[in-house]
Amino acid sequence: MIFVCITPKNHIQLMTKLLNTPDSHKAIAIWLLVCCATIFGMVVLGGVTRLTGSGLSMVQWAPLMGILPPLNQEAWQHTFDLYQQYPEFQLKNFHMSLDEFKAIFWFEYAHRLLGRGIGLLFFIPFMYFLLTRKINRALTPKLLTLFVLGGLQGLMGWYMVKSGLVDNPHVSQYRLTAHLTLAIVIYAYMFWIALDLLRPKELFSTHTHAPKLARYASIITAIIFITIISGGFVAGTRAGFAFNTFPLMNGQLIPDGLFTLQPVWHNFFENIITVQFDHRVLATLLFLIIPVFWLKTRKLELEAMTHTSIHLLLAALALQIALGISTLLLIVPVSLAAAHQGGAVMLLTAALFLNHQLRR
């Protein structure tokens, strides 16, 4: 575990090193944290877009020209005519009026516009820091990796949308989950880099319990990540609209029909019974192991910030469990479901912060 002994001498050394941290590192860290906050908003907005059935309203991908929305009645009619050529209108929304189409269009438009905004928010400061030589040699490849991943995320988003523009007006749960997973990876990597800049390795000393606690925290973080991926399949298969009781599913602790599809592995990604059951099991596992971790660390003499990070992890878990159960019992209202998606990112953030405290 990473901590500083509680002595006046070490406090003075810590404050001196913090004050001597280069201003450029602080500025870059703040910029990355702002980008993280924007990605968080993007994840939540993406959930709202999906839940309101808006994701297939824009049937063309125009990275540059698509910045402007329809500005007059003729442009709106043209956009609506394009939408009418695809399965979602022909099979599902054939009674939709132009005004009703506008309502779903704006969510998808906002989602795409925010994605472009994140690209600019990253690229412009990155070029400034690069040209003014405020980015050191070790940091440059990390930021370039983030830039490439951001570009791939845009492509992945369109690849996801295309899956719903063919025969079945429903995006592939595999592509949706891949899109969500890549967003989470970008967020997590960016957040970790920002923490490295704000609290570099030399600010900390090691503690006897460090290896064991760090391994436990890593396991927790991995399970949170897998649970988020599982949540992507719940969203992609609309499994949350079935079995809206808790803790039982259809009156059973272990429901029938978990492995009805062949080959068996299909059940984990396509069988709504299995998909929801897996998500419940993973959430229950977190509900058990995080409080145990909190109890085991309560009496350890750790740095105050480390104790705070453990408290934050427990609080984020409690909030996320409450949001998840409420979303299920109330049959996936948009506001609660979007909050649940945001809560998953908050829980992961708390886990990453804890890991950084323990590993640095």
Q: Is the Cβ–Cβ distance between 260 and 271 less than 8 Å? A: yes
DSSP class of residue 58 equals -
End-to-end CA distance of the chain: 8
Written as tens digits, the pLDDT of the chain (360 aa) is: 333 333 444 444 444 444 445 677 899 999 999 999 999 999 999 999 999 999 999 998 877 656 888 999 999 999 999 999 999 999 999 999 999 999 999 999 999 999 999 999 999 999 999 999 999 989 999 999 999 999 999 999 999 999 999 888 899 999 999 999 999 999 999 999 999 999 876 555 456 677 789 899 999 999 999 999 999 999 999 999 999 999 999 899 999 999 999 999 999 999 999 999 999 999 999 999 999 999 999 988 888 888 999 999 999 999 999 999 999 999 999 999 999 999 999 999 999 999 998 875
pTM above 0.95, yes or no: no
Q: Domain residue spans in the chain?
A: 1-20+208-360, 22-199
Is the bond leading into 125 cis (omega within 30 degrees of zero)? no
- What phi, psi does 147 have (nearest 5°)? -65, -45
Q: Which pLDDT value is given to residue 278? A: 97
pLDDT at residue 207 in the model: 61
Residues 6+ apart with CB under 8 A from 170: 164
Tell me the pLDDT tens digit for each residue of 198-216.
987 655 545 667 778 989 9
DSSP lists the bridge partners of residue 3 as 205
Are 267 and 261 spatial neighbours (Cβ–Cβ below 8 Å)? yes
Q: What is the pLDDT of residue 66?
A: 67
Please report the pLDDT score of residue 9 as a whole number. 46
